[in-house]
Structure 1
């Protein structure tokens, strides 16, 4: 039996009567977002792979994050764009399941990597003496593996086996690809994919923020001593002051990244939990807006790093200059080779 909910039936034909100008505008606007996502994250991957000074435990997470975000732009966003603009799904039910699985997996992997970056920064700022022990290469590799394995388990398994729609009695037309989920799956998947990583990030950032405030007071005290001419090892004090300032800046950058993350993903996961409990009556326009807000987070991550991190900024500018010359091919090949060596 086809259940006539406010949101579900309208999804089959919504936007079909949209005029040509608005369709062209939407395609152009969303295509720019897709290009920015792919190019920006590809530059992050290329920069870390090519420049040895960027290869650190933190940037291992950043690189894996950029791979996830780049794949969101390559294999998820283009089909979501066609679905959003046309209001129909032209690629069959099997590919709809595959697309939904990739969507959940890659977006969840992106969120997991952000929580790992926050965890990494927590040890770097709050427990620097044990940082090298806690963030050894083997532990970093293990955390990155978890960032990919857990999202795969909560996406491909349930979705491809239709476990995510257990107890959902809504039948959709063949030309509609809507990600309906049961109440149990909505709550459990949202907790694992968003709310648990969000809690980790908020706790880590709060501890980093408190450490940054404490370091700021230390910097102020050192500056007062130096101004009074106190202390013989002024060079050591200056080095210590610069180190604390860098960590403070890292905490500020992390805070902005977390703020952007919450702003763009919180609406989607809130509606994702609420929708099954209100008989799937959320309008398709609301779903599309909130979903694309989440995609935008994947677009913004490389720009946030490029704007706040001088090393990344220099690497981006260098690559942009090299792309206009034949030598960029050598850089590209060597960077790709370094990924496998």
Structure 2
């Protein structure tokens, strides 16, 4: 397998024509067609899936919450990955060539870094939000006010923008690496300083925040479960006390389920993106010896996460699942009151809850 520097040097010996300097890792036209079908399907899935999430949260008032504000912004980032980044990456990956010029190459690289970084920063904010909801519920409404949520969301976009557009468009990420560039390609080659600093800011530090937050959430949920068990053992037979305990159990169950859902989403994100960010630090330190095929595989593994998130919401979160079905079935088109629909319960559950309240 050719290493990156040798591949670039061999490509630079050819003419400046993109077609002549291409070095596709795929030679079979049949295999190219298969790859185009797979990556094209992934792009469509990413595009439509995140549109569903955006539409659901924007349309249904029941989904208007601080957590879902972060989820909405995350879906926008994933949607832009599918619409602006992945199509160009698909052509570059399969053809081994860049047909769109050096300016668009830098713009594409900037958007790629920015949007993928924004995704993980949003996930760290979601973990932070869940931490206060479960561990400090009395402070939650204060800590997660509309103003604070807006500031955090803006931060999730501004930081990736600063570490992507500023250094990439100015060429700061290539200082000392200029000899590896040539016409007709769009390889994102970075120097040691940029690879380490960008990876720490956009991946490893947020990952640490998420890990600590979810560990504390798990401990708090376990502690509350033990307390409820003690309450159940010592509860009186009076109806009021039993009703209070049931409400407490329902609230805890809901928060634990939400934390579990977001934990699965975070875990899969780390699974798909850890190989890329690890290679992003290691490869410059070992002299760019990792092959191009490995880079492309790691990159597209990360893209899969942007397509997977909407389906995780649909499969693991009941409210999202019902919102998705209503939108796909066009039920929202016939009801002017859909904005106020309670997505958390079925009709049978609502009737049962009303009957319990009457008694």
Give TM-score, length-normalised by structure 1. Answer: 0.90
Report deviation, 1:130: 0.3
Report deviation, 1:308: 1.2
Aligned to 1:253, the other structure's residue is in SS state: helix
Q: Does 1:268 align with 2:276?
A: yes
Q: Output aligned runs, 1:67-82, within 5 Å.
A: 67-82=76-91
Q: Output aligned runs, 1:80-229, within 5 Å.
A: 80-225=89-234, 229=237
**Which residue in 1 is equivalent to 2:303?**
295
Q: Give the length in aligned residue pairs.
A: 328
**Distance 1:204-1:29 versus aligned 2 partners, 3 A rule:** same
Q: Does 1:285 align with 2:293?
A: yes
Match of 1:243 among 231, 235, 251: 251
> CA contact under 8 A between 2:122 and 2:156: conserved in structure 1?
yes
> CA contact under 8 A between 2:4 and 2:289: conserved in structure 1?
no
> CA contact under 8 A between 1:88 and 1:177: conserved in structure 2?
yes
**Which residue in 2 is equivalent to 1:58?**
67
Aligned to 1:170, the other structure's residue is in SS state: helix
**Which residue in 1 is equivalent to 2:18?**
none
Pairwise CA RMSD of aligned residues? 2.4
CA distance in 2, matches of 1:4, 1:188: 21
CA distance in 1, matches of 2:224, 2:34: 49
Structure 1 ranges of 4+ moved more than 6 A: none
**Which residue in 1 is equivalent to 2:51?**
42
Q: Does 1:5 align with 2:29?
A: no
Match of 2:263 among 255, 261, 270: 255
Report deviation, 1:289: 0.6
Report deviation, 1:307: 1.2
CA distance in 2, matches of 1:307, 1:47: 15
Aligned to 2:179, the other structure's residue is in SS state: coil
Match of 1:304 among 303, 312, 337: 312
**Distance 1:223-1:170 versus aligned 2 partners, 3 A rule:** farther
CA distance in 1, matches of 2:167, 2:25: 31
CA distance in 2, matches of 1:20, 1:94: 29
**Distance 1:268-1:141 versus aligned 2 partners, 3 A rule:** same
CA distance in 2, matches of 1:170, 1:276: 14
Report deviation, 1:5: 2.6
**Distance 1:17-1:270 versus aligned 2 partners, 3 A rule:** closer
Report deviation, 1:14: 3.6
CA distance in 1, matches of 2:234, 2:317: 30
CA distance in 1, matches of 2:55, 2:90: 26
**Distance 1:119-1:20 versus aligned 2 partners, 3 A rule:** same
Unaligned runs of 5+ in 1: 335-341
> CA contact under 8 A between 2:22 and 2:184: conserved in structure 1?
no
